[in-house]
Amino acid sequence: MPFIKVWGTRHYGQNFVDLDGVEIEIKKAVVGIEELGLDERQVTVAFPLDVRDLDKARPLGDMIVEIDDLFAYPARTREVRLRVAAAVGTAVREAFPNAKLVKVFVLPFDPNESFWSG
């Protein structure tokens, strides 16, 4: 179940962007990749606060998107992960058109390596 963190939203005018709507669009982007076999309830999206984002005098920088905990299954090939990155990046870019740059990192996770759920 992917955990998606979008860094830098506050610096780009979070007050003017409907983050709930952005979350919905990101989830749609992920669910739209059929090979993942996920539904919207299985995708978590967060918009963490970086205290540096509160400094409005700071020049605009990059928005970073981290997609963690995307379990590594055979159907989730490199091509599929690239499509996930592009789909999520496009959703974020559309929500924050004034962002200098949007970077998306997909970090596949092998649950056999180290995982616990309770």
Residue 32 has pLDDT above 90, yes or no: yes
Residues 72-87 have pLDDT tens digits of 888 899 999 999 999 9
Query: Tell me, what's the pLDDT at 9?
Result: 78
Would you say 26 and 45 are in contact if contact means Cβ atoms under 8 Å apart? yes
pLDDT at 22: 94
pLDDT at 24: 97
Q: What is the pTM of this model?
A: 0.85
Q: Going by C-beta distance under 8 Å and a sequence separation of 6 or more, which residues neighbour residue 5?
A: 46, 47, 48, 65, 66, 68
Q: Counting Cβ atoms within 10 Å, is residue 75 exposed (0-12), middle (13-18) or buried (19+)?
A: exposed
17 secondary structure, DSSP code: S
Which carries the bigger pLDDT value, residue 65 or residue 60?
A: 65
Nearest CA to 26 out of 109, 104, 107 is that of 104
What confidence score (pLDDT) does residue 84 get? 97
